[in-house]
Amino acid sequence: MPDYTSSAKSILCDLLGAGPVRGARLKLLFSHAFEGREGVPYAEAFAQFSKFSDLLGQHLDVLQIDRPDGPGDVTVRLREGATAIGTRPPQGAQASASLFMRPDLWQALTNPDPRRRRFVHCVTGEIVHFLADSDAEPNPRIAERVAREPQFVEIRAISAETQRTWMQDFVESGALTEARRRIVAPVLDLPYSSQVNTLFAGGLGEQAEAWRGFRARRVADYIRQWCSEKGLEVENVLRPGGVQRHLPTASESPAQLHEAAVKGVATGPHDAGDLRRSLVAALEQMTEEELSRVLFPASALLRIHSHRAQ
């Protein structure tokens, strides 16, 4: 019997990428997605596990299982830092879209949760999100920070209805056999969610990669339109380093620096002196919280230490 450990972990991460799921529901979603992807019955592939919880126990490096105090079902979620495993855009989709999509941006765009608000920082490129109707931390703290810092621009997530329409368009594109169309037809009737997309892709078999490319092209078109509406450069939004590309001269005031950063003005090639001035200016504009997250090369810190020791 082949080893399906890697496939199981990938599917679990995909299913849990949008949030925690109750154990019983997760088992149904997992078995459907697994059988659609691998073409092997769930019971046959994992016959060595008498319970679904035993299978989950093999992936505690990425999963967290919360058990209730009394009777009731467990809740399964991804461990902190494991989200990217399941939510990254597929490599084939990257090439098809002719854009490199940051995993955190991909998730912000494609998670259709209407309660969640997402923002990108125009200077640092940081992406933050919070639940608008939640008083639980860190939601209020993040909301207060976004309101305080005008450099944040709200990301308009792709609606569930739009993403469901993409699924329907792919089915009607002629790329599927009649047998595959019958397999995925029931999925199209479900309310769209990230888990439903995983079920849909699992039912496509060998055409799953074509769907990922099709979807990635639609996401790329969407973000191009969003950037155009916001006056942002697409390439700058996509790169993890941040949205702003303007590197200031020594004569520019802090107000001018801030305006240039927010607008993402591109000024062409720059030398090392420009870069140094830009970094100094950026540091001067940062809050204490932002400064606490700045990373410096170890070689620079060693030079500073050596200089002080002399």
To the nearest 10°, the Cα dihedral for 200, 203, 206, 211? -10
Q: Is 119 helix (H, G, I), strand (E, B) or coil?
A: strand
What would the mean pLDDT of 66-91 be, rounded to a whole number?
Answer: 69
Q: What CA–CA distance (Å, rounded) separates 267 from 85? A: 36
Could you tell me the residue ranges of all domains in the chain?
5-83, 88-243, 245-287
Q: Is the pLDDT of residue 171 over 90?
A: yes
Query: What is the helix (H) or strand (E) element at residue 63, kind and residue range?
Result: strand 63-66
Residue 226 has pLDDT above 60, yes or no: yes
Q: What CA–CA distances, in Å, run from 70 to 27, 53, 66, 67?
A: 21, 17, 12, 8
Residue 85 confidence (pLDDT) above 60 = no
Pairing of strands 116-121, 75-78: unpaired
Residues 6+ apart with CB under 8 A from 214: 96, 166, 169, 170, 173, 175
Q: pLDDT tier at 304 (50, 70, 90 boundaries)?
A: low
Beta bridge partners of 63: 78
DSSP state letter for 251:
T
- Give the tokens for residue 49: 């596990």
pLDDT at residue 30 is higher than 70: yes
Q: Under DSSP, is residue 249 helix (H, G, I), strand (E, B) or coil?
A: coil
Percent of the chain whose pLDDT exceeds 70: 67
Rounded Cα gap, residues 147 and 134, in angstroms: 16
Tens of pLDDT, residues 227-243: 888 887 776 666 554 44
At the topology level, CATH places domain 5-83 in Nucleotidyltransferase; domain 5 (3.30.420)
Sheet holding 75-78, edge to edge: 21-22, 75-78, 63-66
